[in-house]
Structures are given as C-alpha cells and as structure tokens.
Amino acid sequence: MAASTDPAPNAAERLIAFTIGGSYWLWLVGGLYMAGPVLGWVLAAMAARACYLAPALPEAERPGTLPIQLWAWLLGMGAMLGILLIAHGNFSLGAGQTIKSSVGWAKGWALLGLFPFAGYVLPIRLSVVARAVCRLGRQTLILMPLFLAAPFIHLPAILWVSPLKVLGGASDEFFAVVLYTIDPEVGVARWQFFAPWSPAAGMVAMIHFLIVREERAPGWRWTGYIASVLMAVLSQSRMALVALAIIIPITMVAGRLGKARTWFAFAPITLLVGWLLPQIAALGEQASSGFNGARASSSRVRATLGRIAVERWQHEAYWFGHGIVERGPHLVEYMPIGSHHSWFGLLYVKGLLGVISLGIPMIASLIGCVIAATRGRYGRLALSMVLTYWLYSFGENLEVLTYISWPALLVLGIGLRVQARPETADC
C-alpha cells in the first residue's frame, strides 16, 4: 500500500487513474476507444499550459527541457499530418475524407507524441500509474471466472456492439463487447478482454506487467503480475510470450553497459557465439518456423498483406502513400492492406516519408533510453517501453492500438523525466 505520507493525487494523476480503473466500464459502453484520445489531448493541453507558465513558477517546479527523443516524437507525429494532407491531395480524396482522416490522426499517430510529452512535463508519479494498473488487474481477476466459463456454458461470444461506434469511425471491433473468440485453426477459445482482438490484449498485458514492477506494495504488485500473465497466456499471443521472455533480460543487460565488467563478460560470450554461429542460426530458423507454424494461416495472411503493401507502395505512391487504408482481396480475407505491421502499413498509407517520420523517433528513443538505462532503474523502465513498441511494430499497427497502449507512452515520458531529474520521482 502507498505510504500515508504520500501527497494527494494531482489533477493529471486523477484523470489517469480514473481512465485506467474504468477500462472495463468504458469497454462495456463502447467508450474505451474514445477515452484514450481524449485523455491524451487533455494531458497534452495541461502540459503545454505548464510549459507556458514555466517562467512564472519557482525553479524547482518548472518543467525540464525536453530531450531530443521527445522532440523527435512531437515533430515526427506532426509530419504524419502533413504527409496525410498531401496524400489526400494527390489522390483527390475530397474534403470529407480528409477531415475524417485528420480526426483519425488525432486519435492515433498524434497520441504517440502527446503522451510522452505529457509524462515528461507533468508531475505524474509512477506509483500512481502502477497502482491504477494493479487495481485494473484486480478487476480482471474478479471477472476471470466469467471470461473462462463463457465458452463452456455457451454464452454468446459477442454480447453487443455499442451504438457509440457512430462517433468513432473505426470498425465494430473497437466497440464490441466480446467475451471470447474461437480460434478457427485449432477450435479452442481465445480471450481478448477489453482489447479489440487477442494479440492486442497480449500487448496490453506486456505493458501492464512492466509497469506493475514499479508497485511498492507486494500484495498489489503480485495482483498485477498474476493478472498480466493470465491475460498474456489466455490471449494466446505469440508476440506477448516472446516479449515476456526477452525484454526484461535486455533491459537488465542495458542497465549494466556502463560497467567495465559487463564488457569483459561479453568477450568470452562473443567468442562462444562465433564458434556456435551455424548451430545458433539453425536453431533460430527452427524457432522462426515454429513461431509461424503455430498459426500457419495467420502467418500466411500477414505475409501476403505485407507483400501487397510493399508492391503497391513501390508502384503507386512512393513518397506520400495512398492516404487511406484499403481492404485487401479475398486471398487475405479482406483484411486492410498493411495491417498487422506498422512499417508495411505506413509504407502503404503514408509512403517512405511516413516510415521516416516514425523511424527517427523510434531510433532516437532507443538510443536515448539505452543511455538512460545505464544511469538507473527509471531509464531501464523507459527502455522497456520503447522495446515493447519496437517489438509490436512488427506485428501490430501501433497507432490503431494507442487508445489502450497509451500507458506505455506515458511511462516512457515519466521514466525519462525521473531519470534526468530524480527529485521529481515523488512530486
């Protein structure tokens, strides 16, 4: 439990805790898809106000200077809007479609810059975010018997689709209350909880697991751990299981890169890897085949969607993309071209400049967070968030899931701020 001497939550912390804690209620009424974007813009407005008023504040309360990686996110996501407008002009998509796509940008790509910005500028405590995630985990555990029993007592898989879908402009998946789905390949149930599909639930579970590590009370921490692991396992997301296995070890190693003994330890390991490289390559190929073979049809569809996206990008819209998402043919089950992969999706919709607009902040954040990780635990936390986004960029469209993955972006900003200014850890 948080110490009784902890200061009361400020306005930003209350908004964050309310939104995280209300995830299931918002999911039930179809409001979760809108809550994340609204929160992002409200927090960003609060952060911009704090920056504007900074000269009038005491020096200890002034927001710190934004690091280069956060500037990269803000400028990169701003460039996404410019690219979108040019692409719509190139293909004469009309004012109506341009307005709709601009709103989509505000609900997706824009948030990748706004949440880290708000986390860095506003006095948001990691302990508040971690506790809110743990409380959500408790709700998940309470609801778990219902989720698990639903397919066996023949409850409908989809309870309803919220009428609020008319406000969102996205597919029904974002507004449907789904208890479970049946994997068509193996005929067993999968769960997606409050996410739009099961792999997205795995991504949320991974983010929550990493955030829960910052909870100080063992009881709450283990509640969050158990709920996150159950979500990852029951979603049957291959990416989530890979993330759980590699991200924490990588951040631990990164945190020790500043120590000479780490480099001395790498020397014999590097030599050993060189000797065993053929065997390691064979094992890697076998693991990749097993990973893809776990859901062969899903892997085939993903690969085909990627090929279609790349071919049409090269021949039709090299620099600025097509501007909008289009559905693929029957061969890919009519799924959107470039979906299931942020980079292929960007190539198709926003062209090479779109890829650059995301690639620069991603690379800058990776480098900056590796450096921060060598300086302390908060840097390692920020690095774990960046690694999660890097990993999932090859299996999901990041901007589509920002409305539920935003805690990772917020914690990225908080972690960088606290690592740079330790005195703000409990402010």
Residue 125 lies in a domain: yes
Instruction: Identify the H or E element spanning 182.
Output: strand 181-182
> Is residue 288, in this structure, part of any structural domain at all?
no
Burial 266-295, CB ≥16 within 10 A → b, else e: eeeeeeeeeeeeeeeeeeeeeeeeeeeeeb
The answer to whether 140 and 195 are in contact (CB under 8 A) is no
CA angle 79–396–164, rounded 5-degree value: 80
For residue 288, give the amino acid letter. Answer: S
Whether 171 is covered by a domain: the verdict is yes
pLDDT value at position 308? 82
Q: How many CB atoms lie within 10 A of CB 67?
A: 20
What ranges in 214-341 are assigned the alpha helix state H? Answer: 218-235, 238-254, 260-275, 277-293, 296-316
262: left (phi over 0), alpha (psi -120 to 50) or beta: alpha
- Whether 287 is covered by a domain: the verdict is no
- Distances from the Cα of 227 to the Cα of 176, 194, 200, 234, angstroms: 22, 13, 15, 10
Task: Name the residue range of residue 189's domain.
Answer: 11-280+294-424
Residue 19 forms part of a structural domain = yes
| Amino acid 3: pLDDT | 42
CA distance 248 to 286: 23
Q: Domains in the chain: how many in total?
A: 1
Residue 285 located in a structural domain: no
With a threshold of 0.85, does the pTM exceed it?
yes
What is the per-residue pLDDT for 2?
42
In the chain, what is the straight-line distance between the N-terminal and C-terminal CA atoms, in Å? 18
pLDDT tens, position by position, for the chain (427 residues)? Answer: 444 456 778 899 999 999 999 999 999 999 999 999 999 999 999 999 999 888 877 776 678 889 999 999 999 999 999 999 999 998 888 898 999 999 999 999 999 999 999 999 999 999 999 999 999 999 999 999 999 999 999 899 999 998 888 877 667 889 999 999 988 777 788 999 999 999 999 999 999 999 999 999 999 999 999 999 999 999 988 888 888 888 888 887 777 666 655 545 555 655 554 554 455 455 445 554 554 555 555 666 767 777 887 888 888 888 888 888 877 666 666 677 766 677 888 888 898 999 999 999 999 999 999 988 888 889 899 999 999 999 998 888 899 999 999 999 999 999 999 888 877 766 5
Is there a domain that residue 253 lies in?
yes
Give a yes or no: residue 230 inside a domain.
yes
